[in-house]
Chain A
Amino acid sequence: MLEVKDLHVCVEGSEILKGLSLTILPGEVHAIMGPNGAGKSTLSAVIAGKDGYEVTSGTITFEGRDVLDMEIEERAQAGLLMGFQYPVEIPGVKNIYLLKAALNAQRAARGEGEMPAPEFMKLVKEKLAYMKMDPSFLQRAVNEGFSGGEKKRNEILQMLILEPKLAMLDEIDSGLDIDAMKIVAEGVNSLRQADRAILMVTHYQRLLDYITPDKVHVLVDGRIVKSGDKNLALELESRGYEWVVEESAA
């Protein structure tokens, strides 16, 4: 589904990713872990197409398409959606309006017409309830005045409605208390299905107690230095990152 090959990325002249390769198959949940500054967030930002990241070599393909050749919105329309670590506030734009615009933009890209309003409202209300969010959320401006937990829940709500093929979640657990994390994790788990993949970037193991990954990768200094299953995450939890760094240097 997603194939990243020997990816080198520079930010403001310094190389952050130094030959990263990663293959994600449909239905898989991948977790990328690693110490601060290893380049974890850079990976999802580059896949999403954020400005300021220069790909100096390597390729990213998604379902056979060259991702680096696509506009930001085309990537989203193709099913590559990112859950932000720090979702931005958009004053004056109601949540419901953003959801509707996004859903219809994606439908239009697939050659489908706009979703009829009653059907849309039914869908939104169902997902809201699932995320334990009050309907008044819809009338509030996008992320404006939202608490950290509300913002993250809102990110997952968007995923549930937009149904991406590959959901990339960037530190979706940061700033969440345990109750909020359970709700978010439940939302993510409900996204799991055979034709959808999830890529999680996280610093801590605790999220993985709730969302069990199929693959865990350790990113150190711009490269994946170790991959394993969920047990690797547990090992990292008890032993820290130091041993992996040393192992990779050896």
Chain B
Amino acid sequence: MATEEMEQLVRREYTQGFVTDIESDTVPPGLDESVIAFISQKKGEPQWMLDWRLEAYHQWLKMTSPSWAHLSYPPIDYQAISYYSAPKKPEDRPQSLDEVDPKLLETYEKLGIPLHERAALAGVAVDAVFDSVSVTTTFKDKLAEAGVIFCSISEAIRDYPELVRQYLGSVVPQGDNYFAALNSAVFTDGSFVYVPEGVTCPMELSTYFRINAANTGQFERTLIVCDKRSQVSYLEGCTAPQRDENQLHAAVVELVALEDAYIKYSTVQNWYPGDEDGKGGIYNFVTKRADCRGDRSKVSWTQVETGSAITWKYPSCMLRGKDSVGEFYSVAVTNGRQQADTGTKMIHIGANTKSTIVSKGIAAGRSDQAYRGLVKIGPRARGARNFTQCDSLLIGDRCGAHTFPYQEIGNSTATVEHEATTSKIGEDQLFYCRQRGISEEDAVNMIVNGFCKDVFQELPMEFAVEAEALLNVTLEGAVG
């Protein structure tokens, strides 16, 4: 009897003891082993996956929510969350754009999002909102030709179990941190990418294609593996403000770069930040980490963070391979009552590893944000180099920006540079621009975009243009 069949048998017995109704599409709020088993079964997962989830769950039970971040929010009741629900039925969703918050629509207008996409983004129940089927098909054909695997993580677990089993959790172990453990136990969606040896992915991969097919999960799990000498550019998110019923989002992203591989991962995060008082906004607790496993491998993180009520996120690189390179380019914008604690970790393990950190934080309104970065140089990382530049821009006098740089240097051959500035958009700068005939809002946008230029130029072209527009919308009304 094949192992797989054995596992299936075992699992069947295992699940039988549970009370949850498998026919139902939603589990009642709360988290226990039966809920995890339910999720695993719904996804048709093999036994090892369920075991892996349960292991994560048991570790999570022993952990406590981190309190070191410069954030404040009421305690989250994890038993009040429903951990599995099928996408909303059409009759429960807004039936037309007339039922959608006009403010949201106004924003779509300003961002220049095409009409037919607005409905989908606002969650309106429309049949075939996109003529994306054909787009997706050509897109899939092209990838298949190159041998690139790009599918949902659930499909990958079913169709490529060896690959998933080999790499899942190898960068972010189940018990890595509180939110990663929770994610490992209950993740329901996410993407999987595998680029085979020597292949340069023929197009930029975007979750955009997938998100519109199914709702994004609350607990996304993304795994990208670039084999030797392969390359991929991956775009996550979308500039349009996305609403979600779920307040808590805890995603995990794992990147693996083998010898001479290059992964470029770009994110634009614009989850709903809540109303003017910050009510109803998304809590975004993300663990993103790259493992530059092979020599001369390179990972570049670029992020533009403008949404969410709370952002807790530190895309990191473990530079294991000799001469491997890690980069982190970030723009974080907070307005209203938003809070963000974000930054990166560059862990230099191999010799001659190199990292660059460019972080630009913009705080407006009554928002608060922190840059938190760790540069760690291990004893074997001879000749390692890091350059960190960390700038904050304040708009108005009710916001805050904080910088927490940590450095652990374990050998004397390393070169570590750190530059930090904090500036304010001064009344004088605004007056100067307005005295040239430029409106106050345009002046703020001009100054902010100038401030972010170093990061925007790292974004793929299309994204960069969108990001600029997004910043302008986010900071609307920040002054005066």
Question: Which A residues touch B428, using CB under 8 A?
Answer: 88
Cβ-defined partner of A94 (8 Å) among B440, B450, B451? B450
CB contact between A73 and one of B427, B440, B450, B453 (< 8 Å): that residue:
B440
Cβ distance B396 to chain A, nearest Cβ, rounded Å: 14
B437/A162 in contact, CB under 8 A: yes
Is A102 in contact with B450, judged by CB distance below 8 angstroms?
no
Question: Nearest B residue to A102 by beta-carbon distance?
Answer: B436
* B413 contacts chain A at the CB level, 8 A cutoff: no
- Tell me, yes or no, whether A87 is within 8 Å of chain B by CB: yes
Q: Please tell me which one of the listed residues B431, B440, B451 contacts residue A92 in the complex, with CB atoms under 8 A apart.
A: B451
Task: Given the known inter-chain contacts A87-B432, A88-B432, please indicate yes or no for A97 contacting B450, CB distance below 8 A.
Answer: yes
Pairwise interchain contact A105-B435, C-beta atoms closer than 8 A = no
Within 8 A of A (CB), among B406-461: 423, 426-429, 431-440, 442, 446-447, 449-453
A73 touches B439 (CB 8 A): yes
Interface residue from B436, B446, B451, B452 paired with A76 (Cβ < 8 Å): B436
Give Cα A234–Cα B437 distance, bound, in whole angstroms.
36
**Residue numbers in A under 8 Å from B434 (CB-CB):** 49, 71-73, 76
Q: A73-B438, A101-B438 are in contact. Are A50 and B450 (CB under 8 A)?
A: no
Instruction: Kindly state the separation between the CA atoms of A141 and B426 in the bound complex, as whole angstroms.
Output: 16
**Contact A88 B429, beta carbon cutoff 8 Å:** yes
A73 lies within 8 A of B437 (CB): yes
A92 to B457, CA, bound (A): 13
Interchain CB contact under 8 A, B436 and A98: yes
A93, B447: Cβ atoms closer than 8 Å: yes
Q: Which of A48-65 contact B (CB under 8 A)?
A: 48-51
A48 → chain B, closest Cβ, in Å? 6
Q: Give Cα distance in the complex from A82 to B435, angstroms.
A: 7
Bound complex: CA A109 to CA B432 (Å): 18
Tell me the complex Cα distance, A77–B433, Å.
12
Cβ contact within 8 Å between A105 and B450: no
B-contacting residues, A4-42, CB 8 Å: none
The answer to whether B447 and A106 touch across the interface, beta carbons within 8 angstroms, is no
Cross-chain contact of A162 among B432, B436, B451, B453 (Cβ < 8 A):
B436
**By the criterion CB–CB under 8 Å, are B437 and A77 in contact?**
yes
Across the interface, do A93 and B446 meet the contact criterion of CB distance under 8 Å? Answer: yes
Known: A93-B446, A105-B436, A105-B442. A72 touches B431 (CB 8 A): yes
Residues of B within 8 A of A102 (CB): 433, 436-438
- Chain A residues whose C-beta falls within 8 Å of the C-beta of B442 in the assembled complex: 101, 105
- Which residues of A182-237 have CB atoms within 8 Å of chain B's CB atoms? none
CB under 8 Å from chain B, chain A span 86-143: 87-88, 90-94, 97-98, 101-102, 105-106, 109, 141
Q: Quick check: A98 and B433 within 8 Å, CB to CB?
A: yes
Complex contact B439–A105 (CB within 8 A): yes
* Distance, CA A158 to CA B447, complexed state (A): 18
Most buried by B among A84, A92, A98, A162: A92
Q: Are the CB atoms of B429 and A51 closer together than 8 Å?
A: no
Given that A73-B438, A105-B437 are contacting pairs, would A84 and B450 also be in contact in the complex, using a CB cutoff of 8 Å? Answer: no
Q: Does A81 contact B (CB under 8 A)?
A: yes
Residues of A within 8 A of B436 (CB): 76, 81, 98, 101-102, 105, 158, 162
In the complex, the answer to whether A76 meets B437 with C-beta atoms within 8 Å is yes
Cβ contacts under 8 Å, B426 to chain A: 88
Using a CB–CB distance below 8 Å, which chain B residues touch chain A? 423, 426-429, 431-440, 442, 446-447, 449-453
Binding site for B on A (CB under 8 A): 48-51, 71-73, 75-77, 81-82, 84, 87-88, 90-94, 97-98, 101-102, 105-106, 109, 141, 158, 162
